Amino acid sequence: MSIKVVRVLLPLIAFLILLPSQVQALGIGVAPHKLELETYPLGSVTSLIHVINPSSEKSLYRVYVEGEGENWFSITPAEFVLDPQNIQEVKITISPSLIASGDYHATICIVSLVAASELKIGCGVKIPVHILIVSPPPLATMGINLTGLPLLVVVSMVALLLAALVAGIFIWIRRKTYEK
- What does the pLDDT look like over 139-155, one tens digit per residue? 555 555 555 556 666 67
14 within a domain of the structure (yes/no): no
* Full-model pTM: 0.60
Q: What is the pLDDT of residues 125-139, one digit of tens each?
A: 999 999 999 886 665
Tell me the pLDDT band of 22, cut-offs 50, 70 and 90: very low
- pLDDT of 124 over the 80 cut: yes
Same domain, 152 and 118: no
Number of domains in the chain: 2
51 within a domain of the structure (yes/no): yes
Instruction: Please report which helix (H) or strand (E) contains residue 163, including its range.
Output: helix 151-179
Same domain, 106 and 49: yes
Identity of residue 153: V
> What is the rounded average pLDDT for all residues in the chain?
80
Q: Please count the helices (runs of H) and the strands (runs of E) in the chain.
A: 3, 9
Same domain, 162 and 91: no
Same domain, 71 and 106: yes
Residue span of the structural domain in which 39 resides: 24-136
